[in-house]
Amino acid sequence: MRLLTLKKSFMNKLRSFYQWLMSYGSAEKMAQRGENVLNTRLKTFFGVCPSCGNSFEEHSFTRIAWTITNGEHSERVREFLEILRSGKWQELLDISDFDPLEDTLVIDLIRCVNGKAIWILTREAASLDDPTQIAEHKVLGFDESKHLLSLLVDSNWIKMGK
């Protein structure tokens, strides 16, 4: 009986997710909405750039790494955070574990006009009812920023605007 209840629950979540997904239209429109939501979230959380203290005009951001956070992946999460905090950027850029039905830790990067980079660690819940939470951030020094940004030359940078 428990298995049947879990199956129904899963199917209801999947159906709800599919309906939500279809309401957003094309993949291109979804990507644009996602970029806008993330852009708004970052600007609302910080208010001004934590590096230069100005508005986000002429700043840009990109997503650089993510990993699943459920119990089965607790060792991977620990490694992910250790790699992030120790600045092993090439290793971090190779991590992209994702499952739309699982909570995820995400690293976004803001490129400031002053040449510095700011990483933002965010917890994104699989449930649409659970809000995304920015857990921590760090403004990198000039040399570390330059190194990390050199690894992201081909990334899809998104302008943040005012």
Per-residue pLDDT of the chain (162 residues; tens, 9 = 90+): 444 455 566 666 666 655 555 544 444 444 444 456 677 777 888 889 999 999 888 899 898 999 988 777 788 899 999 999 999 999 999 988 888 788 888 999 999 999 999 999 988 877 777 777 788 999 999 999 999 999 998 778 888 876
Within 24-141, where are the H helices?
A: 27-46, 74-86, 89-93
Prediction pTM value? 0.74
Q: Answer whether residue 20 is part of any domain.
A: no
Q: Answer whether residue 38 is part of any domain.
A: no
* Overall domain count for the chain: 1
Q: Which domain holds residue 154?
A: 48-162
Give the β-pairing of 60-68 and 158-159: antiparallel
Q: Which helix (H) or strand (E) holds 133?
A: strand 133-139
Q: Answer whether residue 2 is part of any domain.
A: no
pLDDT (0 to 100) of residue 14: 60
Q: Answer whether residue 60 is part of any domain.
A: yes
Percent helix, strand and coil across the chain, each to the nearest 5 = 45, 20, 35
Instruction: Give the pair of three-digit tokens for residue 11.
Output: 């199917």
Q: Answer whether residue 124 is part of any domain.
A: yes
Q: Answer whether residue 25 is part of any domain.
A: no
Looking up tokens 């190779």 gives: 94
pLDDT (0 to 100) of residue 8: 60
- DSSP bridge pairs for 60: 111, 159
Instruction: Please tell me the distance from the alpha carbon of residue 161 to that of residue 135, in angstroms, as a whole number.
Output: 23
pLDDT (0 to 100) of residue 27: 43
Q: Answer whether residue 140 is part of any domain.
A: yes
